[in-house]
Structure 1
Amino acid sequence: MLVFKELWWFFKKEKVAYGFGIIALAIVSLLSLLPPYVIGVVVDHILRQTLDVRTLVIWISVLVGVGVFSYLFRYLWRILIFGASIRLARLLRNQLYEHFTKMSQRFYQRHRTGDLMAHATNDIRAVQMTAGQGVLTLVDSITMGGFVVLTMAFTISWKLTLICLLPMPFMAWLTSYYGSLLHKRFHLAQSAFSDLNDTVQESVTGVRVAKAFGQEKSEIDQFRAKSEDVVKKNVSVARVDALFDPTISFIVGISYFLAVVFGARYVIAEELTIGQLTSFSIYLGLLIWPMLAFGWLFNIVERGRASYDRILAILSEKQEITDERAEVYERLEGDISVDIKSFSYQGSEKISLSNINFSLKEGQTLGIVGKTGSGKSTLIRLLQREYDLDDGTITIGEHSLQTYSLDRLKQGFGHVPQDHFLFSATIADNVAFAKPTASIREIINSCQLAQIHEDIVRFPQGYETIVGERGVTLSGGQKQRISIARAVLPNPEILILDDSLSAVDAKTEEQILSGLRENRQDKTTIITAHRLSAIKHADLILVLDQGKVIERGTHTNLMKEAGWYRRMYEQQQLEEIVEQGGRADAT
């Protein structure tokens, strides 16, 4: 029952709903005691031949009244208790979602998407069951069971009641043992479901890749294996769950046997009447539900406890990037100064960046180039404070990055990542995501700047075209340009293009860059690229290799050196000439 203690904060918050719900539940339990008593009285009247129409009508009226009031109070407790449990699910779901949005990249490196989804669905559902069905079952089993036992003991025979309760401690021990087994196995079952959830999410997201490489069978086999593991672990839970009802029924059966044997002796000895023994037998039947409910309670509680433990484990993970040192709540502006002594990702011994230092005046453009894995994206992440820098400093406008409030920091950056994520919404909604209040004119202007407007107006629904999940209906170049339009819409102080022009042709690339230079003369732009034509107009170019700056300067200065930049630029120019010649020959 530890989970009820852990959820006590919520029960206190919803004390009115749970208080009146429990009172209504107790009244229903009390009302359910009247029908057996009425039956016993009527049986005795029949045996004594004293039953008349008036007496029968009175007792039938009592039964009808009990039915009506039971109906009303049952409706009331369901609304109150189940309504409160639904509010708990909403509260936990909101807490989880808010927690997810605040966590850093490291958090998402440790946890898979499918596992996080399982926490927000199955685990919350199990906790909701505990706060609803669990509370109901606990209160109902205690009140109904207590009232029935007290009624049997004080209105019929305390001796017969005591005899019939002798097997109950054995049942309590067994259900407690089953509960501990259930907790362990349900925890494993939930973990298996998380794995399955993650597999489905990855498979659906990467279905194009699977089809392209003809790996559908492999994906199906992997899913089948995960699914069988989920079934196996849930069957293991079901095997323990299946022990509750037979055990309780067997114990109650023993109690019935004792009631018949000893009850008959008391009737013969004239210590009980036939009507009282009949009432006692019916009360004993009413005791079956509290006993079964008690077993079901262990089932619900242990499931809820395992799931709540998983939720608390996620919520207990601390937010790494915080406003703890926030002092600056003004607009992000000014020169950028970077001095990174060393940076490594958590859990990795490899140094990702070392001895990176440069200054960039407000309104200038920085180009960052280098081989794959040279540290370009890592530098971008540090500039946006996706990770905190321990050995070194990054300042914007003479303020340390860590002293800016997170809200101001996010508002000041416009980022076009390598992975162009689009929502399953209209093109207009996707572009306006960075500025929900934007007018259609502003959306069109940003799309024209990103050279995607002409493509959009050729779609049958234009800007109201649904792009599908992750933009599945669009080409790579179209997704890139919509992402650029989204980033430039709010006109951020610092625009970051992280290899965001790789899927467009050279002419479109030049048009986009020319438009950015014209519209962002007083704004800072940072571009990482593999195609050097994208950064040749930059005020400062950094060439990275294995996390270090091996060359720096303008395009003109770097072309005077016989370094990596010059060799790569000349090679790319030669490739472009060859491609143009090939197209010319073909025509």
Structure 2
Amino acid sequence: MKVFMNLKWFFKQEKAEYLLGLLVLLGIALIQLVPPQIIGKTIDLIGTKKLTGHTLLIYMLILGGAAIMTYILRYTWRVLIFGTSNKLGKILRNRLYEKYTSMSPSFFQQRRTGDLMAHATNDINAVQGAAGPGILMISDSLITGTSILITMAITVNWKLTLIVMLPMPILVILTSYYGRLMSKGFKKAQAAFSRLNDKTQESIAGIKVTKTMGYEKSDQKDFKDISDDVVQKNLKVAQIDALFDPTIMLVIGASYFLAMVCGSFMIFHNTISLGQLITTTTYLGMLVWPLLALGFFFNIIQRGNASYERISEIMDTQNEIDTAYSVEGFPSGNITFNIESFRFPNAEQPALTDVRFTIEEGTTVGIVGRTSSGKSTLLRLLVREFDTKRPEDITYGDIPIRDYEIRHLRAMFGYVPQDNFLFSTTIKENIAFADPAMEEENIARAAQLSYIHNDILDFPKGYQTIVGERGVSLSGGQKQRVSIARAVIQNPPVLIFDDSLSAVDADTEEHILNNMQNERQGKTNIITAHRMSAVSHADLIVVMDEGTVVEQGTHEELMRNQGWYWQTYQSQQLRDELTRNLDDITQVEGDDSNAENK
């Protein structure tokens, strides 16, 4: 019953529908009491040879009216109770989705995608079942069962009623025990289903890697093992669930036995009539459903309890990003990093130390350094995927970024991350993701700026080409350029390239950067890269190593310093020159070979 207490806010919100639904169930229960009475009276009239055609016609009309009313009322309660429970599913899904979208990255690092999907599907369905079929089962069981027993006691014989009720306490004890076992079993079954979701999602997402490495058989075996575990745990739940029906039928059988033995004895002593005994046995037959409903109720309610606890655990998780704000409006001005130290949650070593520099509004800043030097970490802090300890560590317009409303802060940035995620829809819809109603001319313009327009036109369906799951049908460079177009089309005040040109060749990189320079004059641009050529034009270049700033200045200043930037730039230039020479030699040899063949 704990889940009902947790859902009292919803029952209070929808009390009118539920109260009306319960009244309809009460009406059905009362109408169902009529047929056994008619049957008993008819049998007694037949026994005394007093049944007339007129009386039989009246009884038949009463039974027909009861059937029609039962049909109408059963349709009505389904609309009221089941229909209202669907609202609960909608509310919980919306709340859960809002929770997911508001959480920081660490939340998703600690939880697997399949498990989060299971919360939004199976768990919510189980809770919705408690608010729909669960309410029906317990209400119908109590209303119908109670009304039948009261009617038996009043219209037949109260002593016989008490006798047939003697096995009932055994039923209550056993079903309660089964319910506790089911709760434990269902939690394990749901956890197993979450693992199966995880495995399915990961296997499909990584199918290219699996096939490339010839890992199909092992992957199939892993999936089979997890699937078998799901079956076994659900089988245990089903085994417990299977105990309800035999137990109920055993109790009902015992009540039938007592009714026949004691009822026959009472008929022999003229305490009740044969018609009343038949009425009693008919009512006992009608008690089968309320008792079965009680068993179903324990099944449904334990599933709902387990699932609501799993959902509550997610909803009660605190966001590591504080969304409170004190400054209205959108930020503007210079962006200043003044970070003493930052470490990721649960990390032992700091990711950043002593990072201090300023990005002036309207300038282009390049951030370079070795892999894992802290470049991407800086950008993730800027868009508040994580927060530093001190509010003054990062300011925007001399105001700490955490003082702004987070949606206003993030609206300032067009962010192209290292991991270019594309949705499984058309190229056009991926580029116009921020505004699906964007005009085609603007979409094409953004594609031209990111140097992907010609590639798109070469596809058979052009901008209507479906890119597949995570852009699987595109090359790495094409995915990067579509992601760049998606960010550029927003024309954000601050455009961030987080190593977003790594999969394109040097010529394409140069074209894109030239387009950005011409298109985004007067706007702020932040570029992290491994190729020094990508940032050589920047107004400020920041060199990072092991989470700290080791150099900063313009390209000319850093070249004069002859530090890490100078060494890396020289080696990359030499490598590019060698590559060009090799390409020229290969081209000349190819031309000579063609000439000889001719």
Q: TM over 0.5, yes or no?
A: yes
**Is the Cα contact below 8 Å between 1:446 and 1:486 reproduced in 2?**
yes
Is it true that 1:507 corresponds to 2:507 in the alignment?
yes
| RMSD of Structure 2 on Structure 1 (CA) | 1.2
- Partner of residue 161, structure 1: 161
Whole-angstrom CA distance in 1 between matches of 2:349 and 2:292 = 59
Measure how far apart 1:529 and its partner are.
0.9
Cross-structure match for 2:5:
5
* SS state at 2:244 partner: helix
State TM-score, norm by structure 1: 0.98
> How much does 1:22 deviate?
0.9
Q: Which amino acid aligns with 1:570?
A: Q
User: Aligned partners of 2:421, 2:250: CA distance in 1, in Å?
Assistant: 59
Q: Secondary structure of 1:433's match?
A: coil
Map of 1:314 onto structure 2: 314
Is residue 376–residue 544 contact of structure 1 (8 Å, CA) maintained in 2? Answer: yes
| CA deviations over 1:455-508 (Å, ceiling 9, x no partner) | 112222222222122111111111111100110111111111011001111111
Aligned partner of 1:352 in structure 2 is 351
AA of the residue aligned to 1:335 = N
AA matched with 1:333: S
Equivalent positions of 1:166-185 (< 5 A) are 166-185=166-185
Deviation at 1:435, TM superposition (A): 3.0
The letter of the residue matching 1:54 is H
Secondary structure at 1:434 match in 2? coil
Compute the displacement of 1:562 (Å): 3.3
C-alpha displacement at 1:383, in angstroms? 0.9
Deviations 1:238-269 (A, max 9, x none): 11111111111111111111111111100101
The corresponding residue for 2:575 is: 575
> SS at the partner of 2:243?
helix
Structure 2 length as normaliser, TM-score? Answer: 0.96
Contact 1:322 1:406 in 2 (8 A): no
User: 1:32 — aligned with what?
Assistant: 32
Cα distance, 1:177 vs structure 2: 0.9
Residue equivalent to 1:472: 472
**Distance (Å, rounded) in 2 between the aligned partners of 1:563 and 1:219:** 48
Paired residue for 1:262? 262
What corresponds to 1:366 in structure 2?
365
Identity of aligned residues (%): 51
User: Which residue number in structure 1 is paired with residue 336 of structure 2?
Assistant: 337
Q: Which runs of 5+ in 1 are unaligned?
A: none
Deviates more, 1:239-248 or 1:67-76: 239-248
For residues 216 and 372 of structure 1, the distance between their equivalents in structure 2, rounded to whole angstroms, comes to 32
Tell me how far apart the structure 1 counterparts of residues 306 and 151 of structure 2 sit (CA, whole Å).
37
Number of the residue aligned with 1:118: 118
The runs of 5 or more residues in structure 2 that have no matched partner are 588-598
Bigger Cα displacement from structure 2, 320-329 vs 142-151: 320-329
Give, in whole Å, the separation in 2 of the partners of 1:459 and 1:57: 78
CA deviation after TM superposition for structure 1 residue 8, in Å: 1.0
- Cα distance in 2 for residues equivalent to 1:178 and 1:370: 62
Q: Which residue of 2 aligns with 1:403?
A: 403
Shift of 1:323: 3.3
Report the counterpart of residue 131 of structure 1 in structure 2: 131
Secondary structure at the aligned position of 1:522 is classed as coil
The answer on whether the counterparts of 1:171 and 1:251 sit within 8 Å (CA) in structure 2 is: yes
1:436, CA displacement in angstroms?
A: 3.3
Q: Secondary structure of 1:560's match?
A: helix
**Partner Cα distance (2:320, 2:83) in 1:** 35
1:88-109 per-residue CA deviation (whole Å, 9 max, x = no partner) reads: 0011001111111111111111
Letter of the structure 2 residue corresponding to residue 347 of structure 1 = N
Deviations 1:110-137 (A, max 9, x none): 1111111000000011011111100000
Shift of 1:542: 1.6
How far is the alpha carbon of 1:366 from its aligned partner?
1.3
Find the aligned partners of 1:37 and 1:253 in 2 and give their Cα distance: 22
Matched residues in 1 for 2:186 and 2:341: separation? 45
2:395 aligned partner, one-letter code:
T
SS where residue 542 of structure 1 aligns?
A: strand
Deviation of the 1:586 alpha carbon? 2.4
Tell me the equivalent position of 2:461: 461
Partner SS, residue 393 of structure 2: strand
- Give 1:210 shift: 0.8
Partner of 2:99: 99
SS in structure 1 of the partner of residue 433 of structure 2: helix
Alignment coverage as a number of residue pairs: 586
Q: Which amino acid counterpart does residue 29 of structure 2 have in structure 1?
A: S
Q: Which residue of 2 aligns with 1:378?
A: 377
- The SS at the match of 1:202 is helix
Amino acid at match of 2:383: Q
Contact 1:435 1:489 in 2 (8 A): no
Distance 2:185 2:291 in 1: 23
Which structure 2 residues correspond to residues 525-536 of structure 1 after superposition, within 5 A? 525-536=525-536
Shift of 1:345: 0.7
The equivalent residue for 2:387 is 388
**Residues of 1 paired with 2:144 and 2:86: CA distance?**
25
1:36-92 Cα shifts (integer Å, max 9, x gaps): 111101111111111121111110111100000000000000001000011100110
